[in-house]
Chains A and B, each alone.
Chain A
Amino acid sequence: MNEGRAAQPGRLRTYLLGGAVLAAALTLAACSGGQSIGGGSSSANSGSPYGFTTAKQNPKSEITVWVDSTRLPAAQAYQKATGQKIRIVTYDGDANGSNSFRTKMELFNRAGSGWPDVVFTADDNSASWGSLSGTGDLAPLDKGTKNLVPAATLSGFAAGSLGVCTVNGSVYCLRNDLAQNVLWYNKTLMDKWGYQVPTTWEQYQQLAAKVATQHPGYIVGTAGDAWTPEIYMWGSECPASQVTGPKAITVNTSSPDCVRAAKMLDSLIASKTMSTQDIFGPQFAKQEGSKILMMPGPDWYGGSVFQGLLKTPKGQIAVAPALHWANESQPVTGAVGGGAWWVSAHSTNLAAAIKFATWVTTSDAYQADLAPGYPAYTAAAAKWIAKQQASGYWANNIATPITAAASQVWTGWVPPEFSQESVWASTVSAGMAQGKSIESLLPAWQSAITNQAKVLGYTVSK
């Protein structure tokens, strides 16, 4: 009896081992083929009229588009307007540094199939990894002898708005919307209390000091979001994200331009006029929603925050020109996001993909009539802002300051391959939650950006 049982595990082990080795050999054989498929700079091709190796085209194949839930109406409007069938997939839109677009593309590259044709993203760092000098997953739109998108269409986008799409002189995306920062404020309260709308950050700080003593509880902004640096640091010309080449970045968070913004935030947080909660978190609307006197932030705050989240009554909210520091000869501001549409280099129906991407970014039927944010396409933007004004919700002329700010975005801040928002959140926001001042966290911010950049192969200079 014991003899039989003793033999069993040994023999079983032999079978197991044999089977495993055989299976492993099969797997490796199968996988070694799969690895080379997909991206790689080899897809750049000067022989192709488009400047890259295209997949075999099939004008009848149905295109797949990825949108976030906010952009779902764009894809639906396209179907309605053109009668063309497309496959719509909703995903998180790459928001909050989730990086899901790239994650999925890496998986498809490994599998050698499955790529979508057109993708919307809310963050703008895709060009830095997907261009021909990176994975080659994204189609250059104006390369080669036959541009995918005509130069006339590209020149219709606001000046500088395609900067985030451009690598080595080629454009890789069509910008959906701009997200330039302006100063939102509650005109009813400002008038009632006899306050002057500030134009510089210095005046803004002085007014906040008055608010702290005269109307405690009211806030002049929030520093709790991951995009806080894109409002206050970017707007202060803080050199934390100066991408100088495909794999080179200059970071200097101890520059006086960063320190002045950090000091301002610290003093406002100390006087409790600056909230530290994130706008879309569960507490902000409940606790601070009715206490907003001013709020520096992107143009989309109007629709998404005041009308959507906080449901501030009509006739109270107004817009002033973006705040700037007094010593700036040319006023500059920052930007929070502003999405873009990317076309896959693997698409088997590039014509349909380009048609879709062009339509959703340039057509009045979506950009002027339905879009929630300021369109990047100039012609649509004029109509969009006129429509906003005509709605009667706003307490002043919002078109002038928003349009002016569109061309004031400081070009010294360029999104790198990684998300600056998630770096800020995991270092500065995390430190703030423990009661540290932002100024004291600047060195930690510096090393976090540096570390993240180095891991991705960047050369970092200060």
Chain B
Amino acid sequence: MTTGPVIADRAGRVAPATRPAPGPGPRRRIPVLATGYLFVSGYVVLLALFGVIPVIYSLYLALTRPTGGFAGLGNFIQTAEDYRFVPAVEHVAAFLVLWLVSLTVFVVLLALVVHRLASRRGKAFIRFAYYIPGALAGASSVLLWLFVLNPSVSPVSALLNWTGNTQFSSVIAPGHLPVVFMVIAFWTGAGGWILILYGALNTIPGDLLEAARVDGAGPLSTAWHVQLPLIGKWITYMLILSLAAGTQLFVEPQLVSQASFGVVSNYYSLNQLAYQYAFTQNNFNGAAAISIDLLIVALVCAGILISRGRLFRTD
């Protein structure tokens, strides 16, 4: 997930807006505003350089011909009619569904478990353990998985054999791939999100939980009726960033393709297809059209999540 319009990386752990600080008095308004601009300026510059400008440039490419001149929707139509396009859309969609569901369920569950742990040292250890996979850079952690998934060298080969997969080629059979990529993505990306949701759970005032306990709520109903509604925004936030990152699925299928000597094709995902367009067909305009497709999907989904999840409501 390193190419294409980057909205946020999978482990993009920019904390969501925390509760507003007590407002400054009228006399101090201007200096505070200046400080605010100073704080966001670094981000804005980087966003423009690596986010906004590349998007505008790819929009320009997507609407023009390789030889120059306005192409209208020509590049979009050409790429959508490519025999690899629809399978790639299906692959990415299957992966996204599996990944977002598993991410939501397990991350919330694990965050609640860590939060409930009584022992302070146990908490610290588990928080650290969750974070370790996230500290490995994307491609290297996928390489690690190539060993785990190969029954002849895997430390969990017994488990793979038990599921009936005695050869690498059967582990990476087309039907298994969405699950395989989901597991890899979860392992590399979920740890950071567990910590963020754990942090979110910590912002729930203790007396609220105390009140729930007094009213006779057990751990389950406390989680369901009190904690989950209060961290809903953080979950929405996680889903938006994960969706943007997930549509850009690239490193996992690319490395599996190379490791399988091409048995998994190198146009499994949309981002790989864009890569093929740019670098084996010398058609940067087609590649740009595919990345704009991805951007539109991510923006629309994010818009729905934001309005449904009331992410920016400040009551």
Does A216 lie at the interface of the complex (its beta carbon under 8 Å from any beta carbon of B)?
no
Does B248 lie at the interface of the complex (its beta carbon under 8 Å from any beta carbon of A)?
no
Give A23 to B36 CA distance when docked, in angstroms: 23
Which A260-275 residues have C-beta < 8 A from chain B? none
Contact A433 B152 (CB under 8 A): no
Contact A103 B280 (CB under 8 A): yes
Q: In the complex where A425-B261, A429-B263, A434-B173 touch, is A20 in contact with B280 (Cβ < 8 A)?
A: no
Contact B48 A19 (CB under 8 A): yes
Total inter-chain residue pairs, C-beta < 8 Å: 107
Identify the interface centre among B36, B53, B82: most chain A CB within 10 Å of its CB. B53
Does B60 lie at the interface of the complex (its beta carbon under 8 Å from any beta carbon of A)?
yes
Shortest CB–CB separation between residue B80 and chain A, in angstroms?
Answer: 13
Q: In the complex where A99-B280, A106-B278, A282-B152 touch, is A20 in contact with B56 (Cβ < 8 A)?
A: yes
Contact B83 A27 (CB under 8 A): no
Contact A135 B282 (CB under 8 A): yes
Does A10 lie at the interface of the complex (its beta carbon under 8 Å from any beta carbon of B)?
no
Does B132 lie at the interface of the complex (its beta carbon under 8 Å from any beta carbon of A)?
no
Q: Which of B52, B263, B282 contacts A426 (CB 8 A)?
A: B263
Give A2 to B29 CA distance when docked, in angstroms: 11
Q: Which of A1, A426, A434 contacts B264 (CB 8 A)?
A: A426
Q: Which of B24, B150, B258, B264 contacts A430 (CB 8 A)?
A: B264
Which B254-296 residues have C-beta < 8 A from chain A? 258, 260-266, 278-282, 284
Question: Majority SS of interface residues in chain A?
Answer: helix
Contact A16 B153 (CB under 8 A): no
Q: In the complex where A96-B258, A96-B261 touch, is A1 in contact with B23 (Cβ < 8 A)?
A: yes
The interface size bin for chain A is 35 or more
Does A247 lie at the interface of the complex (its beta carbon under 8 Å from any beta carbon of B)?
no
Contact B150 A456 (CB under 8 A): no
Contact A23 B83 (CB under 8 A): no
**Residue of B whose beta carbon sits closest to that of A286:** B152
Does A313 lie at the interface of the complex (its beta carbon under 8 Å from any beta carbon of B)?
no
Q: Which of B24, B48, B258, B265 contacts A1 (CB 8 A)?
A: B24
Shortest CB–CB separation between residue B288 and chain A, in angstroms?
Answer: 12
Give A426 to B265 CA distance when docked, in angstroms: 5
Contacts of A433 in B (CB 8 A): 167, 169-170, 173, 263
Q: In the complex where A1-B26, A24-B57 touch, is A281 in contact with B168 (Cβ < 8 A)?
A: yes
20 A-B pairs whose Cβ atoms sit less than 8 Å apart in the complex: A8-B33, A8-B36, A12-B40, A23-B48, A23-B52, A23-B53, A24-B53, A24-B56, A27-B56, A27-B57, A28-B57, A106-B278, A282-B150, A283-B167, A422-B262, A426-B265, A429-B169, A433-B167, A451-B83, A455-B281
Interface on A for B, CB 8 Å cutoff?
1-2, 4-5, 8, 12, 16, 19-20, 23-24, 27-28, 31, 96-99, 102-103, 106-107, 110, 135, 225-226, 277-278, 281-283, 286, 418-419, 421-422, 424-426, 429-430, 433-434, 451, 455-456
